[in-house]
Chains A and B, each alone.
Chain A
């Protein structure tokens, strides 16, 4: 078991903390309202008064200023725990370059996933939300940390993130099913994954999660250069998870592979949108801030080219 005294882990914790704080301050903090626990009623908009409405809901101040009878409309806001699901299957250990990654994971999708997870956890915790974490695909099987709001809990989550490595065996479908059994019905669920398993196997689990009333956000990690097959020399391609290897001539299959990639993205994106979630693409060659802004602004289109 990894200890918190591991120098690499300590270095990662510091790095994660700094990256999360900087990104939160520069990207997420300004444009969004803070949510406070216990604030149950929040103003939404005004509506013209119509006969039959309760006079108690008339905003007399507006009447005094404008001589118009309007009724305040309010939205009910309840406490909503948040859970970040990070898929660290071995396939995520590949990638070409990522300036935002961790020192020893700077060129992998896993590094980008860790930074994103840390930033989101930090941001939500700073807003006073209860945050939890699920690590899938790590050595020893999925790890689950239920949502809590205290600072020690965040430190523990950071420690877990810093110690996590993509060395297990990916099974996204099974991991999502386990998460579904352990969360409450009304939750904010942020899933960070490269999705490199058959979508027909894991998308149903995701749909089931969304069906429980969760507010689903899926951040799809990918490496543009990797998927573009930029190399010209032939090589034997293999998956870090094992399985069959194939001799590939990138020049020969580039066109066909691009078609497969486009079809894959459309398949995943459409599946998430059908489940009622938000779909956010996070390419390694793009700044991590762009990915976070997309998260804040409501996602991207499934048909958008990687």
Chain B
């Protein structure tokens, strides 16, 4: 209900007219003057005198004011507008039912869902209609489905089709449904019953133009609003993984679309079936952030976060990708078994990677000689260290394949290294071609040349604090392997340098994997690295960084329900199959290197190639915008803007206001004359 003013200017004029009258009535000064011998006491209470009541006859003032207000009110031609849309069919003989089956219609209410209530409403109307009325039934979410073939008088058919309607997982678009209704009307008048929960801020406003066309063609639109008084829904909006201590941190945000504060239980299900329970406090209409620390070792894959919500269970789970954390298997190829520990890279590496044994460190290093490298599988090993290996040529091709499929190789220098052999063996796979050994400082008399604090943040250094980054400066080298000139690019990055701009650690991305070049030695011959406090954290972080981003050649893809997912496999495969969340086969198309399929439900999908080799993991989620069940502008409100005559009732207030003003003035006159008489 609202008030409209036909002549708003009358308000200003009325105020201008009323103010002097009111001022005169309230501030009028007495005519009598009286000599008073106790003015001292009057002065004392002058403040009270200012607040004193000077109105000699409040009743007369009120009556006159009422009369004035009534007169002004009538002059403004006010109209009281009530929302009142058509509520029953009006004998056009044709009724089109439009039923919303979007996800929000799955909200639980007493006795079922909103969809059940909507279907009940339609059933009741059908039951009340006389025989012979032609009916049609549409349902809509983000697409319109005609459940009847045009109009039909077969009630049983309509009721049976109505019974089969189920809630979808999609959003709602009303405009196409109204368009279909208008097409079906074909210019003849019909009643259109729209059954919807009016959820979301844009659903009804977006349909205003189509509503206008529908009404202009003579349709009697009957809105049936199913919006609950207190809509509630909780949904997981987003999940993000961040590297950190232990296995890293998983942050997720939960949205509360209800109007009440809640505490919900959420469970984080990791790909290896581990479940972490957390409770989240939610304020009305707000987003809550929560984070959990992952175990030191967690399998990579697709996990999910589920938050309990009885109001609308369909959108309670969110699927996310999780890289493998911890547990990486590292192969250390010892190219120079030394006579003493200080001359052995492997001695230091083993103690850095697994200082307390395999179980505690989360890493499993295997040590072999160059001859032991026979075959490399990126699913078995994630990282390979070539420690001062003299000639990598015998297994170079296997290493390159290993890298291209997602593995990582770290090459460290030493006295055994011959640049030509490496350049020949790896070619462009090397981060930079090796040139020659160079002395940076005298090993016996000078301090080593220190590392600089890396300018690049994130990535390899994301878990180091500021003090940790400063500690990197303690690492230094007396001797390094120089490289041919190269440029940092999309594929090559210099991660660490020594003072004097000598590269210390260079990374190259190759296929799905990475190759890293440490230009000094890992033992104590060329550098002081193994004796520094940062040695163990740096090696752990290096393996965690390389292992998390590699380890599997399978792609990770995010998608929304209802989308057609296209995945470029990057290589030719003979066949590819898409498997759904329950392992079922999903209809898909393989065109060259691209596989396409439509995601109908949320969950973890996987694309597998020949031999069940995973080619891609797909996390499919619902669009959280569809979870907003808060009622937007109603169909009645939008209809009132489109055609006020059909959606509103108007009452003119000027006549009763004039009558009231007349009565007030009459009473004021009577009262004033009575006062004069007495």
Closest to A259 in B: B45
Q: How large is the interface on A (under 10, 10 to 19, 20 to 34, 35 or more residues)?
A: 35 or more
B41 touching A237, Cβ below 8 Å: no
A237 touching B54, Cβ below 8 Å: no
Closest to A94 in B: B37
A252 partner residues in chain B, CB cutoff 8 A:
52-54
Scan A225-236; emit 1 where CB is below 8 A from any B CB, else 0: 011000101111
A47-B40 Cα distance, complex, nearest whole Å: 53
The answer to whether the Cβ of A91 comes within 8 Å of any Cβ in the partner chain is: yes
B36 partner residues in chain A, CB cutoff 8 A:
94, 226, 237-239
B37 touching A234, Cβ below 8 Å: no
Count B interface residues, CB 8 Å: 23
A121-B46 Cα distance, complex, nearest whole Å: 40
A248-B46 Cα distance, complex, nearest whole Å: 10
Interface residues of A in 232-264 (CB under 8 A from B): 233-241, 243-249, 252-253, 256-257, 260-261, 264
The answer to whether the Cβ of B675 comes within 8 Å of any Cβ in the partner chain is: no
Of the stretches A64-72, A112-120, A190-198, A274-282, the one at the interface is A190-198
Interface residues of B in 32-53 (CB under 8 A from A): 32-46, 48-49, 52-53
B39 touching A238, Cβ below 8 Å: yes
Q: Knowing A235-B32, A248-B42 touch, does A253 contact B52 (C-beta < 8 A)?
A: yes
A264 to chain B, nearest CB (A): 6
The answer to whether the Cβ of B56 comes within 8 Å of any Cβ in the partner chain is: yes
B45 partner residues in chain A, CB cutoff 8 A:
253, 256-257, 260
Closest to A227 in B: B38
A93 touching B30, Cβ below 8 Å: no
Closest to A233 in B: B32
A249 partner residues in chain B, CB cutoff 8 A:
30, 52-54, 56
B56 to chain A, nearest CB (A): 7
The answer to whether the Cβ of B465 comes within 8 Å of any Cβ in the partner chain is: no
A158-B28 Cα distance, complex, nearest whole Å: 48
B52 partner residues in chain A, CB cutoff 8 A:
248-249, 252-253
The answer to whether the Cβ of B29 comes within 8 Å of any Cβ in the partner chain is: yes
Scan A66-109; emit 1 where CB is below 8 A from any B CB, else 0: 00000000000000000000000001111100000000000001
The answer to whether the Cβ of A223 comes within 8 Å of any Cβ in the partner chain is: yes
A196 touching B38, Cβ below 8 Å: yes
A223-B40 Cα distance, complex, nearest whole Å: 14
A137-B32 Cα distance, complex, nearest whole Å: 27
A208-B30 Cα distance, complex, nearest whole Å: 43
B43 partner residues in chain A, CB cutoff 8 A:
243-244, 246
A93 touching B38, Cβ below 8 Å: no
B41 partner residues in chain A, CB cutoff 8 A:
227, 257, 260-261, 264
Closest to B50 in A: A246
A93 touching B35, Cβ below 8 Å: yes
A227-B38 Cα distance, complex, nearest whole Å: 7
B30 partner residues in chain A, CB cutoff 8 A:
233-236, 247-249
B29 touching A236, Cβ below 8 Å: yes
A237 touching B40, Cβ below 8 Å: no
Interface residues of A in 4-23 (CB under 8 A from B): none
A231 to chain B, nearest CB (A): 8
A95-B33 Cα distance, complex, nearest whole Å: 15
B35 partner residues in chain A, CB cutoff 8 A:
93-94, 238-240
A93-B37 Cα distance, complex, nearest whole Å: 7
A236 partner residues in chain B, CB cutoff 8 A:
29-30, 32-34
B41 to chain A, nearest CB (A): 4
Closest to A95 in B: B37
A234 touching B56, Cβ below 8 Å: yes
A167 to chain B, nearest CB (A): 13
A5-B517 Cα distance, complex, nearest whole Å: 136
A43-B45 Cα distance, complex, nearest whole Å: 54
A91-B241 Cα distance, complex, nearest whole Å: 92
A197 partner residues in chain B, CB cutoff 8 A:
40
A261 touching B34, Cβ below 8 Å: no
A95-B30 Cα distance, complex, nearest whole Å: 21
A248 partner residues in chain B, CB cutoff 8 A:
30, 42, 49, 52
Interface residues of B in 244-278 (CB under 8 A from A): none
A196 touching B33, Cβ below 8 Å: no
A92 to chain B, nearest CB (A): 7
Closest to A239 in B: B39
Q: Choose among A196, A223, A247 the residue that contacts B54 (Cβ–Cβ < 8 A).
A: A247
B44 partner residues in chain A, CB cutoff 8 A:
260
A109 touching B37, Cβ below 8 Å: yes
Scan B158-184; emit 1 where CB is below 8 A from any A CB, else 0: 000000000000000000000000000
Closest to B40 in A: A196
B48 touching A256, Cβ below 8 Å: yes
A229 to chain B, nearest CB (A): 9
B42 partner residues in chain A, CB cutoff 8 A:
237, 246, 248, 257
Interface residues of B in 1-58 (CB under 8 A from A): 29-30, 32-46, 48-49, 52-54, 56
Q: Knowing A227-B38, A243-B39, A244-B43 touch, does A238 contact B33 (C-beta < 8 A)?
A: yes
A254 to chain B, nearest CB (A): 10
A237 partner residues in chain B, CB cutoff 8 A:
33-34, 36, 39, 42
Closest to B54 in A: A249
Scan B126-156; emit 1 where CB is below 8 A from any A CB, else 0: 0000000000000000000000000000000
| 17 residue pairs from A and B, CB less than 8 Å apart | A91-B39, A109-B37, A196-B37, A196-B38, A226-B36, A226-B37, A233-B32, A238-B34, A239-B36, A246-B39, A248-B42, A248-B52, A249-B30, A253-B49, A257-B41, A261-B38, A264-B40
Residues of chain A touching chain B, judged by Cβ–Cβ distance below 8 Å, are: 91-95, 109, 194, 196-198, 223, 226-227, 231, 233-241, 243-249, 252-253, 256-257, 260-261, 264
Other A-B contacts than A240-B37, A245-B33, A252-B54, 15 sampled, CB-CB below 8 A, are A94-B35, A95-B37, A109-B37, A196-B39, A231-B34, A233-B30, A234-B56, A236-B34, A238-B36, A239-B35, A247-B30, A253-B52, A256-B48, A257-B41, A257-B42
